[in-house]
Structure formats: structure tokens, C-alpha cells
């Protein structure tokens, strides 16, 4: 959550000519409503079901020229992490809790799981607990990448160069 998946994914796609898919946006288009609406009207378990189905549809294509940005919880449910690892390179984007909190505060309205948490203790506790709870799932990724530096165009460009050098060059 707020590790920069969409920011980095879009920039990578623009630099490499690969196709970029944000899994949340894909689900919204299929469901005809926002993630926030899905959570409010149908609950998190229904969203997780839609998420797993969408992930399986996307990975079934076998297209190597696609970058998929999954939601922060995606690897933690069902067999999603197995599906991702069988379909390509999975990269755990890491950022410090402070960076994640700063990003979450800026994007709070579009994030149903944190929208009602107060700045300070509640949000910080939520981030720390989620990172701890999700780490065993994320650690099953085939690689890690520090995504702390995505705050301006220069940082994004440098991160894209590093990512390409690490994972996309033969």
C-alpha cells in the first residue's frame, strides 16, 4: 500500500513500451464502480474475490510485455501470490513506514481501508501492523526494489533506470 506501484508501473511502461495495468483500475472497469464503492456496498471479501478473478484473467494471457500493479493486499489472499509467481517476475516494492504514511495521507480519499483513520497514532499503527502482517506474503516475491524515491520527476526517472537495469535487461 502506497509503495509507488502505480507511479513506478506507469513510468516503466512509458520507458519500455510495455503495457501497464493497475489491477484496481481493471477491477473498477469490470465492476462498473470504484473500489471505495465495492468496499462500501459489497464488503472487502467480495472485493478480494473480484481481485483474485481479475488477477487470474490477466495472468492467463501469458503476455510477457505487461506490467501489473497489484493492490497492497493482493498477495495476501487465496493463491494470488502463487498465481503471480507462476506468471512472471514479482517485485516487492519497499518504502519506509514514514514514506508510506506521507503518501497515504495525500491519497486518503481514494483508499477505503485508511480513509477514516486519524493522522498520527491510528494511521501509523495501521501501516506498521499491515507491513508486519503482509511481509510473509511479500517475501515470497522473486525480487525486491526500494521505491522510496518517487516524489518528483527526477526521482521517478532514476528509479525507472535502476529498475530496468535490475530486472528488465537480459
- Sort strands 19-22 and 66-69 into parallel, antiparallel or unpaired: parallel
Q: Which of 110, 138, 104, 103 is nearest to 39 (CA)?
A: 110
**Which domains does the chain carry?**
5-155 (3.40.50.300)
Rounded to 10 degrees, the C-alpha dihedral 115/137/100/23 comes to -60
Q: Is the pTM of this model over 0.85?
A: yes
CA end-to-end distance (rounded Å), the chain: 29
Give pLDDT, residue 116.
76
Contacts of 57 (CB under 8 A, 6+ apart): none
Please say whether the beta carbons of 94 and 143 come within 8 A.
no
2-25 pLDDT, tens digit per residue, is: 899 999 999 999 999 999 999 999
45-55 pLDDT, tens digit per residue, is: 999 999 999 99
124-162 pLDDT, tens digit per residue, is: 888 899 899 999 999 999 999 999 999 999 999 999 999
Amino acid at each position: 500500500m502506497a509503495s509507488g506501484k502505480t507511479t513506478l508501473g506507469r513510468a516503466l511502461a512509458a520507458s519500455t513500451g510495455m503495457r501497464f495495468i493497475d489491477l484496481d483500475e481493471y477491477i473498477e472497469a469490470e465492476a462498473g464502480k470504484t473500489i471505495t464503492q465495492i468496499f462500501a456496498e459489497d464488503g472487502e471479501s467480495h472485493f478480494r474475490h473480484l481481485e483474485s478473478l481479475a488477477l487470474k484473467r490477466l495472468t492467463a494471457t501469458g503476455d510477457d510485455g505487461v506490467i501489473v500493479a497489484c493492490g497492497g493486499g493482493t498477495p495476501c489472499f487465496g493463491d494470488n501470490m502463487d498465481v503471480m509467481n507462476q506468471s512472471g517476475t514479482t517485485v516487492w516494492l519497499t518504502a519506509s513506514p514514514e514514506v508510506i504514511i506521507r503518501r497515504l495521507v495525500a491519497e486518503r480519499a481514494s483508499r477505503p481501508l485508511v480513509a477514516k483513520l486519524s493522522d498520527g497514532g491510528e494511521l501509523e499503527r495501521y501501516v506498521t501492523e499491515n507491513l508486519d502482517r503482509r511481509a510473509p506474503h511479500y517475501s515470497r516475491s522473486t525480487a525486491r526494489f526500494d521505491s522510496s524515491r518517487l516524489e518528483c520527476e527526477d526521482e521517478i526517472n532514476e528509479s525507472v533506470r535502476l529498475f530496468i537495469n535490475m530486472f528488465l535487461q537480459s
